[in-house]
Amino acid sequence: MSLAALRDVYNPLATKPETKPALQSWKESTPVILLSEYLKMKKECGIRLCDDNGVPAICFRPGLKAGDIGSERWKVAENVCGLFADAVPDLMELMASGRIELPRK
């Protein structure tokens, strides 16, 4: 083993990339669980997840309009967008591995 390789192995200041185990279910992802539960609680707002050509997306039925700004539905949409941003990496992994399937857009 070279000196450089030894230095990398035994250097306490070197940062090691953390690898997390592959997700086996959406129930192993806290961000996905939070998003799912919030969407269930607010299902009357017509906001759901969908598959947009292999990429997770948020679908609004009916769509949002300028008149919706400040309404309860608008606030729910803002919350969903924040939760969705946190969940996207796990959703992508789950979709790529076939662990979840979202309805087509």
Instruction: Encode the chain (105 residues) as per-residue pLDDT tens digits.
Output: 566 666 666 666 666 667 788 899 999 999 999 999 999 999 999 999 999 999 999 999 999 999 999 999 999 999 999 999 999 999 999 999 999 999 998
Please check whether residue 72 lies inside any domain of the structure. yes
Please check whether residue 4 lies inside any domain of the structure. no
Report yes or no: 8 and 83 within 8 Å, Cβ to Cβ: no
Please check whether residue 70 lies inside any domain of the structure. yes
pLDDT of residue 105: 84
Q: What's the domain count of the chain?
A: 1
pLDDT of residue 20: 81
Nearest Cα neighbor of 35 from 72, 89, 71 is 89
Nearest Cα neighbor of 39 from 91, 4, 2 is 91
pLDDT of residue 52: 95
Please check whether residue 2 lies inside any domain of the structure. no
Q: Which domain holds residue 72?
A: 24-96
Please check whether residue 103 lies inside any domain of the structure. no
pLDDT of residue 38: 97
Please check whether residue 75 lies inside any domain of the structure. yes
What amino acid occupies position 81? C
Please check whether residue 65 lies inside any domain of the structure. yes
Residue 27, φ and ψ in degrees, nearest 5? -75, -5
Report yes or no: 99 and 25 within 8 Å, Cβ to Cβ: yes
